Structure 1
């Protein structure tokens, strides 16, 4: 029996972040040393015996950029706090209930006990000075966790309202730890974040938490991992319940064939380690189960990894004789190769300080370093591919070929890059992603960036490909919680902070080019690192300043909110003049209100939360022709247009394009078709540009299309009867060159005005004919309840709320979840949970076996479609029905027409609210 301390405190005052060495008082000498290293590039520094490039490579290999993902209340922040404590970063364990955590630092987070915005923090495991102070050579016969590694950790939210926050954090991760509640198992939001991580091909390990709670079922959770997440769980640890069905006291390690036991009530820094013989003497049933776990682990790995099969035969086909280091190497290969679908599973109880240190060893041993991570996806000029293909120049060649190919209904672009693509790429100094913007009261606006290639240097000119403007980076920081040190450069694979950017927003791609050129060559200006689609907001509320003098301050505060969170939207109602703030859910808007008033000190008030309805026609309008003839700013403008409006179904994707069609495009749920019969558009000109002899001077088909499209979109922004935006509407604009063009008097502004007037008139024509109808958002709702509450919740959804139950205990793919999932995984065959090894759970009866543990609180899942209006305030009602145990997540499915009775009731409520 050995008592081994798992916490080795670092040298006093010495800390690190990535490749930056500095003391807690920000040693200037070490900052200068690091800056000199970055400038030297591949040269040999005089104070080092090895080359700088090799030193940087080894440092990068000992860096882990990981994230914590899970359903709400699974224990993400609690686990993060233990990691910080055991690594020596903090001297006391933070508590979510007390509001003393490091990563949940916002007042709203501490008040509610949930994570709202992702927090980035850095520590070293094992405790030490990070990769910089370690020898370059490592003994391959020992695990990587014997050498101190730098871990950049992102703690993400679990609430469904902050799904976009999780998405933008996942983009910059190389690996992730998915935490599961040992009582609830795989929950609804867990599946959603798992699918999102699959989209970015992020290697993951699973940590089953809360095994100290009554009803915890590790075996059932493992089987749910196979059935609901569609992966093979490689059980690396099994829980140790005292006497087989007593209190949770530790874990048994199937890799090293040993037991780890923590003492109840202590801080978890010391653990009693017992080998297999000692376990046979004290816990014989656990020892036998540990042998079965080792056999199952080796068998599972041998199905995917040839190297472990050879080791197995070398050990005379003895599963227990396979060396632990070979199993770790095999697990690492399988984790990095996601086609194997093998995910390691670990066990613990973070709140009781059990199982966290082995989890951190697994992070170092199994998850990839930045060079080993999957190639991040980039988009350039509408062409998607990997970052390595971009840096080799192949992606730009493909983009040029696509741009030079003629496309029907679109302007034929000229290949802007005539020089060698590799020459252009060689001048690209750095490529970085701004994944987080924080308004720090002391340092100002901090832009967190992940550098993907090259080196981001201080005072370099950064081109923002989203905003198409350049900003200089006056200061660069390496953040270590609240400590920071200025550096001259942030190398590839590392996370840092840029201070002083005035325009950069969350999700923007930043480039620096050789010679500090303000604008890189044309294709690179459209480069997007891991592009993300922001879902449409469904909740909105009005924001009003207390006085006119406070309006400017309020707009500035709203601008800061939008920079930090692009899933928020601000618009102005043309009719009422109100400023409207839109978000993803009730809690999302509540947090935005708190931050606006309390953090940014804006003197404003917010109205009640409303729902964004839509309007749609019930039939086809007559053809309406409008001639715009008016003098604007001293110049006469005259143009005409004919418009027809008709409804379309969301599933209608028919292409109505013909030789007279200039444009057929679907934007925000509406389809715009522009036809110009007899315009004689020539798409084979010498300059690769479209021309037409019938157009007046200064007007080309491209600007004609844009003007008519903008006019139609402006008219569709307000419905004719209920003033809600139009949806599922097709607008067909017809331009007759002889009747609607008037020589030099026809300008783009006149064409846009004519299109707007014609479309608005066609919409009003619907009122005299078929009429219009209101549409409301319908949500995909996944509700998790216990067995006892199932009946009352189903009755409430189907009768009181007008919802439609789709299934029980079965996930139904929806449009929203499909968009965030990985299409490649949908075609994989399902995994039979009966063939997956899982240890028996306490109190599991042999008659029921591996199917369902006997428990009155068996978790059940309800999948339904419910109108959004009925889901406002539903969380409180659900908790009253389920004694506080029910949870739900929802996402927008589609907009549906409302019945006459429901429309009348909603209108009466809206008018009563005003």
Structure 2
């Protein structure tokens, strides 16, 4: 084996490889030698027009994200990746505010990541083209330049939605753990979120240079709290066994890397196993144990490695690094396999980042290897590959044909599979707008992930969510806040479209052959991985400084909503105030900073309030309302009957009768629409969605949407306390003979009638059974040290009215933020737990006996408190927690449910709210 240090001639940056030694010359072509096999690469040859080479370039592409708890070192690790890849010439520092990916003023001021940043670089440094010969298939992946599209995500719990919208377009992820704190609460949350999209992951244990770092304990926590089998690929190298962290030992290649303190980390010293035997005998023995444990673990999940093990006469050390690497890759890419590679380092000290980059290239998937993303087309769900092959279109056509079976033969002809496949063949590109950013210089930037075809400049994009078409005048390849203009963005890559006026976060964009404005059915209903936005629990008032500034403020708020769909803007009908709602205190603070400082809106924001709810205590009587008014110069007339009653969200079963048109749960409320005697005609072209009783031009879908929107509008404002309704069931009934009035009945009139009937039924409840306020109760997970445990538990249970659920147990956060898309994620809760005592983990320095007494491990790790606390008591809790724990405590929380308030507590809250205004 040839061991060497690579140096890229273009950037002068050193990168590591255990297989390849590259000899460079300014005049000669580049030659490489791998196990006696040489190849030649022509640096000037272009392969941009070759479909085969485009496919090879796509295979050498990695779309990855960095996920972790806040302050685990995500941005610091990203900065080192950019430096070693040659993208930057200096290392940015989070404390100095000089990082590339944290470029917003609010990020640099607070030292945290708020907005996920996309950046592209190459590893190893060099150009990714098709100019490699067939012999290059024998090279390790980490020896061939790859394009890495990296996304640095936030770690704070308030920006969970920012993490979610970035995760769904990733092919792989690097989960960074703090070697001192171990697996923290927010780490568990983002880990489960990544599991909903079946994203392959590797783990990097950071900050091993700090006092109290415990690699072995963190590995055991990975098995117990994340419920996966850690495959320890690297172990830390502490000088003399228990002194400072100086490097890592690689269990795959049976060698060690040592970095020198104070240097930039480009040139670590490679040490072979035989040299370790002479210099660091305990580390060499531990490295052998790590290799044996790694081969044994892989043998349980990969038959190929078992064969290699027997070919090597059952010698764990004789199995080649290439075989172990391929086995690890198969395990990582297999969705049902629970093996996750573990790596070690200290990014701030410039240790361990280059091997981590090699691991990204070696183990994480390329776009063709990534899990098939879920798509939905006209209500039929499936995989993207099934869509591109035409199978999903055929399923949709068969479903439509089944709905009209026995009816008109004309319907069956219009939805034939041959026509559907022909329409599919003309699909030019399909992309997902996963993020919208307002840039002061370039305008609105729409970040897209292209899933099929090629998104070209000036192509006409159809938005399947908004049903509008827009041209893409400019395309960019983003490097954090810098950009390079390109002519097209190929499939599997991430880019930016400049100049779109309507696209929002989560919209699906498609282009069709011939630059047609609207694709044919059913392609105009295509949806790529929609996100369920959790309900906001904090709100604040926003007021313009003058009436002349109101339009500017509304435009700025509209931009904020395009960027961040987890923000909501509503207008209070009584006071006329504009209310901005968000996921947390910090979330709203950042929104205020963006609104006033970045978007230059002349407005002021009130204090942060809590979003309460209102619910009914009993059923109303049946109320009928007839709407009869002129709307926009046209007379509208329609009727509706409404019945309101309590709704148990835990028992959401509803036996649908033949008259039930809709039974749907929305934000904790249930809406049932019934239309006795409304005969459905299945011979129509759209698959049975009309009725002879409906007025001309009004189909069943339009009627259903109108009634549903009317009920939702009434439920948005409670009859007694003006808070949105919760746990309320509304049954709307349409009598065609009494509630429909020929051409005078429009969708607007139906919606208004449903709203008036629902509001009247709610007022009827107030006069009879009454309503009561509900408050959000949070799932709170607090991490503290042993000394502060008692005071924090006492504060939660006595002063804040909460109750402790558990101590040091893995209680998952609410599924509000981690609910998977249907059919896309395996149920991790159903998997059998892993015994940490059976997992290999090297001994930590603090685990060695001192004066004959071993330090208990529980004293070294933080204690975890799981509790349920009313949200009102958690406002401003972070400052209080830090004062109780001397700055060491952290917590994350998510909405658990809304609970009914006692009369005494409701009276106190109302008095405070009225006094506040």
TM-score (norm 2): 0.91
2:540–2:608 Cα contact (<8 Å) kept: yes
Tell me: CA distance 1:713–1:418, structure 2 relative to 1, closer, same or farther (3 Å): same
5 Å matches for 1:173-188? 173-188=170-185
Deviation by residue 1:783-825 (Cα, 9 ceiling, x = unmatched): 1111111111111111111112111111234333661594433
| CA distance in structure 2 between the aligned counterparts of 1:769 and 1:781, rounded to whole angstroms | 37
Give the CA deviation at 1:358.
Answer: 0.9
Match of 2:537 in 1: 538
Match of 2:72 in 1: 74
**1:389 partnered with 2:386:** yes
5 Å matches for 1:113-128? 113-127=111-125
| CA distance in structure 1 between the aligned counterparts of 2:685 and 2:756, rounded to whole angstroms | 36
2:778–2:894 Cα contact (<8 Å) kept: yes
| CA distance in structure 2 between the aligned counterparts of 1:357 and 1:255, rounded to whole angstroms | 15
Among 230, 233, 245, the alignment partner of 1:236 is 233
| CA distance in structure 2 between the aligned counterparts of 1:637 and 1:61, rounded to whole angstroms | 59
Among 874, 877, 882, the alignment partner of 1:879 is 882
Give the CA deviation at 1:345.
Answer: 0.4
Tell me: CA distance 1:415–1:188, structure 2 relative to 1, closer, same or farther (3 Å): farther
| CA distance in structure 2 between the aligned counterparts of 1:194 and 1:851, rounded to whole angstroms | 33
Tell me: CA distance 1:387–1:689, structure 2 relative to 1, closer, same or farther (3 Å): closer
**1:305 partnered with 2:297:** no
Give the CA deviation at 1:440.
Answer: 2.3
Match of 1:612 in 2: 611
Most deviating of 740-749 and 557-566: 740-749
| CA distance in structure 1 between the aligned counterparts of 2:685 and 2:364, rounded to whole angstroms | 54
1:403–1:414 Cα contact (<8 Å) kept: no
Among 83, 86, 100, the alignment partner of 2:84 is 86
Tell me: CA distance 1:883–1:687, structure 2 relative to 1, closer, same or farther (3 Å): closer
Tell me: CA distance 1:799–1:420, structure 2 relative to 1, closer, same or farther (3 Å): same
Match of 1:819 in 2: 819
| CA distance in structure 2 between the aligned counterparts of 1:836 and 1:69, rounded to whole angstroms | 24
Match of 2:32 in 1: none
5 Å matches for 1:272-287? 272-287=269-284
TM-score (norm 1): 0.91
Task: Indicate the SS of the match to 2:79.
Answer: helix
| CA distance in structure 2 between the aligned counterparts of 1:635 and 1:497, rounded to whole angstroms | 44
1:134–1:147 Cα contact (<8 Å) kept: no
1:630–1:638 Cα contact (<8 Å) kept: yes
1:540–1:609 Cα contact (<8 Å) kept: yes
**1:467 partnered with 2:466:** yes
Match of 1:194 in 2: 191
Tell me: CA distance 1:220–1:572, structure 2 relative to 1, closer, same or farther (3 Å): same
Tell me: CA distance 1:106–1:5, structure 2 relative to 1, closer, same or farther (3 Å): farther
Match of 2:845 in 1: 842
Match of 1:37 in 2: none
Most deviating of 647-656 and 71-80: 647-656
Among 250, 255, 277, the alignment partner of 1:258 is 255
Match of 2:18 in 1: none
5 Å matches for 1:53-452? 53-127=51-125, 129-132=126-129, 135-406=132-403, 419-452=418-451
| CA distance in structure 2 between the aligned counterparts of 1:640 and 1:421, rounded to whole angstroms | 40
Unaligned runs of 5+ in 1: 15-45
1:220–1:850 Cα contact (<8 Å) kept: no
| CA distance in structure 2 between the aligned counterparts of 1:700 and 1:450, rounded to whole angstroms | 35
Give the CA deviation at 1:763.
Answer: 1.1
**1:622 partnered with 2:625:** no
Task: Indicate the SS of the match to 1:131.
Answer: coil
Most deviating of 264-273 and 239-248: 264-273
Tell me: CA distance 1:469–1:738, structure 2 relative to 1, closer, same or farther (3 Å): closer
Give the CA deviation at 1:752.
Answer: 3.2
Deviation by residue 1:239-289 (Cα, 9 ceiling, x = unmatched): 111111111111111111112111112211121211111111111111110
Task: Indicate the SS of the match to 2:7.
Answer: coil
Match of 2:35 in 1: none
Give the CA deviation at 1:487.
Answer: 2.4
Tell me: CA distance 1:686–1:700, structure 2 relative to 1, closer, same or farther (3 Å): closer
| CA distance in structure 2 between the aligned counterparts of 1:4 and 1:600, rounded to whole angstroms | 54
Runs of 4 or more, structure 1, over 6 Å off, are 2-5, 412-415, 684-687, 846-852
Give the CA deviation at 1:586.
Answer: 0.8
Match of 1:29 in 2: none
Give the CA deviation at 1:833.
Answer: 1.2
Match of 1:23 in 2: none
Most deviating of 733-742 and 722-731: 733-742
Match of 1:904 in 2: 907
Most deviating of 290-299 and 376-385: 376-385
Aligned length: 879
**1:560 partnered with 2:563:** no
Unaligned runs of 5+ in 2: 14-43, 406-410
Deviation by residue 1:302-321 (Cα, 9 ceiling, x = unmatched): 11112211221221211111
Give the CA deviation at 1:631.
Answer: 4.7
| CA distance in structure 1 between the aligned counterparts of 2:828 and 2:503, rounded to whole angstroms | 35
Give the CA deviation at 1:9.
Answer: 4.8
| CA distance in structure 1 between the aligned counterparts of 2:402 and 2:133, rounded to whole angstroms | 51
2:53–2:130 Cα contact (<8 Å) kept: no
